[in-house]
Amino acid sequence: MTADPTAPTDTAGNPVRGSLLTDVVVAVVTAVGVLAGTALLGGRLDQAGVVPLALQLGLVLLLRRRWPVAVLLLSVQAVIVFRSAGLTDVGWVWPATAAYVTLAGDDRPRRPGLPWAISIGAVELSFAASWEFAAGQDQRTVLGTVGAEALWLALVLAAATARRNGRRWRAELDAGLRRAAEEREREARRRITGARLQIARELHDVVAHTLTVVGVQLRVATEALEDSPEEARAALATAQQVRSRAVQDLRSLVEILRDPDEGADDGGSEPLNLAPETGLDGLSDLLERMRASGLEIHFDATGDTGFLPAPVALAAYRVVQESLTNTVRHSGARRATVRLRRDAEQLSVEVVDDGTGSGPATGSEPGAETAPRATTGHGLTGMRERISALGGSFSAGPDGEQAGYAVRVTLPVPVFPS
């Protein structure tokens, strides 16, 4: 069954599903009220006058939800006809009270119910005043009768408007609450997505670096086990050291996953502190581990890199770690240069190697080759996301100045007034 396009809707555009029982009750109360009001005001109660008027005013209200303007016009017309014909002698506005309330309280979009009700009421009161004067009533009586009807109309329209505004306010409040709930849900999803990306970056950086270094050291230990036991022992010690550091970083990550509130403030604006002990202070150990794989590394630092915000220091460390890991795994490079340059407002990180994009695969048999180094991948994507989150710039690709591959990063460093 399809919805009726002519059915009334509320302020949110939803169909109004009024109860038929409610409409019947309103119709009955109106019919009884017209009879009771006529009796209280001393009017005639005859079967040819007020009784048909009461029934007509009641029955027409059964259609008030679908056609409120037409219902009010029919109600006013009935009152005017019965009064003009002398079939009833009391009441102008008050017999049609329910029709006025229905139209003034109409909440349907682009349906100005209140202006229609005011206009129809003004016309009815004007006719009432003219008819009373024409019937020979004195000015005091006309002003009293029509003034009382006008006061009643004003009270009825004010009450209907207040009820309509109350419904609109509740609808707007409900809509605002729904929007707030949707916004909270979107923010929660955004935070979850951000946390997942950060966890993925940390896992990739820690695991990839650890497996690369451990694989290189195990290969060195295997090759030197018979000819140089001391070298094999040193390689195994290095592998054990790297493994221990990876376990420490992974334990930190697991603790954050178990209790994420410890890694971010209440607003969720700070990134998870997944590796709190990793920063530029661990860069020398990182370079030594990578040198143990046979890679010649030149390190150059300019400016004061000892006092950096933790997110900036961690990002710089991860960039160097991932770049050197990729160099060992994919490039077949012999030499690499790591440059840090700190000035007043930014930190620049540059890792350049002399690799060709293919070479012996880490941890593989001698003579095995890696696939050419790609310009995209989880590691590069993670670095790009990490740097972008801090407002920095990132580039990676073949070095335009010399043969090899270069990763260049610029990170803004907040300046705090002294």
Number of domains into which the chain is organized? 2
Residue 11: pLDDT band (50, 70, 90) is: very low
Q: Which amino acid is at 317?
A: Y
Domain contains 155: no
Checking if the pLDDT of 120 tops 70, the result is yes
Let me know whether 233 and 342 are in one domain: yes
100 neighbors 115 (Cβ within 8 angstroms): no
Q: What's the pLDDT tens digit per position in 166-190?
A: 888 898 899 998 998 889 888 888 8
Residue ending a domain, among 106, 137, 168, is 137
Residue ending a domain, among 121, 137, 153, is 137
Domain contains 6: no
Let me know whether 116 and 215 are in one domain: no
Checking if the pLDDT of 293 tops 60, the result is yes
Let me know whether 108 and 238 are in one domain: no
Let me know whether 221 and 359 are in one domain: yes
Domain contains 168: no
Checking if the pLDDT of 369 tops 60, the result is no
- ∠ Cα 371 249 293 (to 5°): 40
Least confident of 122-126, 192-196, 256-260, 393-397: 256-260
Task: Show the tokens assigned to 320.
Answer: 């160097």
297 neighbors 338 (Cβ within 8 angstroms): yes
Domain contains 8: no
Let me know whether 199 and 64 are in one domain: no
Average pLDDT, the chain: 78
Domain contains 224: yes
**pLDDT attached to residue 76:** 93
Domain contains 408: yes
Domain contains 158: no
Least confident of 32-46, 139-153, 208-222, 319-333: 208-222
Residue ending a domain, among 76, 102, 137, is 137
149 neighbors 125 (Cβ within 8 angstroms): yes
Domain contains 167: no
Let me know whether 92 and 219 are in one domain: no
Pairing type for strands 296-302 and 393-398 reads unpaired
Predicted model pTM: 0.47
Angstrom distance (rounded) from CA 106 to CA 168: 11
Q: What's the pLDDT tens digit per position in 141-154?
A: 889 889 999 999 99
Q: What's the pLDDT tens digit per position in 251-271?
A: 666 665 665 554 444 444 444
CATH number of the domain within which 358 lies: 3.30.565.10
**Which residue range(s) make up the domain with 217?**
182-412
Let me know whether 381 and 302 are in one domain: yes
